[in-house]
Amino acid sequence: QVQLVQSGAEVKKPGASVKVSCKASGYTFTTYAITWVRQAPGQGLEYMGWINPYNGNTNYAQRLQGRVTMTTDTTTTTAYMEMGSLRSDDTAVYFCAATQRGTYYHWGQGTLLTVSS
Amino acid sequence: DIQMTQSPSSLSASVGDRVTITCRASQTISSYLNWYQQKPGKAPKLLIYAASSLQSGVPSRFSGSGSGTDFTLTISSLQPEDFATYYCQQNYSTPRTFGQGTKVESK
């Protein structure tokens, strides 16, 4: 069965960077894009962007452009989301999802990022 | 960006009730509309894709309808495990925007 297992919770100071991983298993890694979504405490779901593991193509939400980088390692079937210049309003749960044509079929368990001085 | 607006933001219902949630897009999105269920502390789960197609393994009491700009998610007979927050999401264009969510609570 398809599984996406994310790395553990992180605590970072403002201005720092974070890299979250998402290990995929149970399917051919290149058949789904990996999309990242975040959810601030008590809030809704915010699209961050996606990466196509087949060719490395990416699309980032405009408001995160320049701060976020998504990559994949096809040898380990792992996707990564790195974000820099962290601010307190980046505190959220970050989800990866296996997507096709923009539909989120399978989800990781989420990674809590806390940004605090 | 396409804005997705759900109504109501929350509702109170009892087991066995018929529940309807609506979602409106700020421009036409054909049938590029998905519905997800999220329980506290968990990742969302796909219920309905392409406006009306039931995802494998999802109970048949869930159904979706609509096209263009107006969509509906219906739970025909609410079960205890259905108390959760529901989100619509458009996959017509990037960014793949979500509605703000509808929380279904126990009356």
How much is the average pLDDT of A78-91?
A: 98
Minimal Cβ distance to A103: which of B46, B95, B98 = B46
- At residue A90, the pLDDT reads 98
Mean pLDDT of B39-65: 97
Q: What is the pLDDT of residues B11-35, one digit of tens each?
A: 999 999 999 999 999 999 999 999 9
Q: What count of residues does chain B have?
A: 107
Average pLDDT over residues B58-82: 98
Interface of B with A (CB under 8 A): 32, 34, 36, 43-46, 49-50, 55, 87, 89-92, 94-101
Question: Would you place residue B78 in the very low, low, confident or very high pLDDT band (cuts 50, 70, 90)?
Answer: very high
* Sign of the dihedral defined by the CA atoms of residues A104, B2, A72, A21, in that order: negative
C-alpha count within 13 angstroms, C-beta hemisphere, residue B8? 9
Region A57-85: mean pLDDT is 96
Q: Is A36 on the interface with B (CB under 8 A)?
A: no
Instruction: Say if A53 is an interface residue toward chain B (CB within 8 Å).
Output: no
**Does the beta carbon of A110 lie under 8 angstroms from any beta carbon of chain B?**
yes
Among the partner-chain residues B43, B95, B98, the one whose CB lies closest to the CB of A44 is: B98
